[in-house]
Amino acid sequence: MFQSKFIRSARFCFLILLGGLTIPFSASFAQAAFAKIQAPGFYRFKLGTFEVTALSDGTIPLPVDQLLDYPKAQISHDLQMSYLKSPVDTSVNGYLINTGEKLILIDTGAGAFFGPTVGKLVSNLRASGYQPEQVDEIYITHMHADHIGGLVDGEKVVFPNALLRADKKEADFWLTQSNMEKASESNKDFFKNALAAVIPYIKIGHYKTFDGETKLSEAIKALPSSGHTPGHTTYSIQSNGERLDVVGDLIHVGPIQFANPSVTVHFDIDTKNAKKARMNEFRDATKTGYLVAAAHIAFPGVGHLRESGTGFTWIPINYASTP
């Protein structure tokens, strides 16, 4: 009797469970909307006793097949080898150096000069724990709009306490009215943007040039790397035996120009010197093993170089959750 009741009870429970399992589950959490945003774009690492923060300004879809002095078929092939195709989402990076005594920003991104996919450097600066008012000095690699646009918001200075510095050759070229008047119509905006970004700092007395190789502080040296522009500058930072070179636009398209460093871009004003500057920097970096940071290499754009045949291999910095 007991066994029969037990069997009937067990069968009943099994049927309930079976029925429960067959009841359709109506809630669907997979219908949530796509977020369509990234995390704040900053990455922090130590350089000796310094702290460096790479800051993303966003990305620009770059039609590299139209911009490189290289056969289009070869461009397509080389991009495919990196699982890419033109246009390539190209990073725009800036670098914040905290020496413990000063806060120094190298390049400021595009600001409002390049459309909605960039102009995020200042918001990422804030997300990283700093305010624009805290920046003591700003070093500009060159005066193309995607490196100086973040200096201003309209006519307002974004970094009111910062001293802006650039090579005199760069300033003389881009801030001279007669040069703009001689430029082709397609190039006049380069000059207009430079004037719009830099003049507000000149007006408040926060602008100072240097000439060629210059020791800007005990730890940071400006190194001439002209070619891309007349006064293009690399900034070399050294602390406690470690070194980082911020190279600006010595390179634009990593999947092509690392392996083929002789390839130049239409934006280069002097292609011969642009190529020479790139080769000199990359060879030096491979010999001594220091870090390189580039404005248009995939964020954070920091890594080492190793010689590979007639070119180089890029080795991105290893990710660490704490600096």
What pLDDT score does 35 carry? 87
CB atoms under 10 Å from CB of 12, counted, come to 10
User: Residue range 164-183: average pLDDT?
Assistant: 94
Average pLDDT over residues 201-217: 97
Establish if 20 belongs to a structural domain: no
What is the full DSSP assignment across 9-68? Answer: HHHHHHHHHHHHHHS-----GGGPPP---PPP-EEEEEETTEEEEEEEEEEEEE-HHHHB
Region 158-171: mean pLDDT is 98
C-beta atoms surrounding 72 within 10 Å? 12
**What is the structure's pLDDT at 168?**
97
| 157 inside domain | yes
Asked whether the predicted pLDDT for residue 304 surpasses 50, the reply is yes
202-208 mean pLDDT: 98
31-45: average pLDDT = 89
Secondary structure element (H or E) that encloses residue 81, with its range: helix 72-81
CATH code of residue 194: 3.60.15.10
Confidence of residue 9 (pLDDT cuts 50, 70, 90): low
Q: Where does the pLDDT of residue 6 fall: very low under 50, low under 70, confident under 90, or very high at 90 and above?
A: very low
- The whole-model pTM stands at 0.90
Domain around 95? 40-316
Mean pLDDT throughout 79-107?
97
pLDDT given at position 17: 44
In a domain, 322, yes or no: no
Report the distance separating Cα 273 and Cα 263, nearest Å.
Answer: 12
Question: Is 33 within the bounds of a domain?
Answer: no
Residue-level pLDDT at 200: 97
Share of the chain above pLDDT 90, in %: 84
Count of domains observed in the chain: 1
The answer as to whether 134 is a domain residue is yes
53 assigned to some structural domain? yes
Mean pLDDT score, 251-272 = 97
Closest CA to 57 of 19, 102, 21, 92: 92
Q: What is the pLDDT of residues 95-152, one digit of tens each?
A: 999 999 999 999 999 999 999 999 999 999 999 999 999 999 999 999 999 999 999 9
Distance CA 283, CA 258 (A): 11
Q: Quote the CA–CA distance of 288 and 267 in Å, as a whole number.
A: 29
Residue 60 included in any domain: yes
Over range 299-305, report the average pLDDT.
98
Examine residue 26 and state whether it is found in any structural domain, yes or no. Answer: no
Rounded mean pLDDT of 158-173? 97
Distance spanning both ends of the chain, measured CA to CA? 73
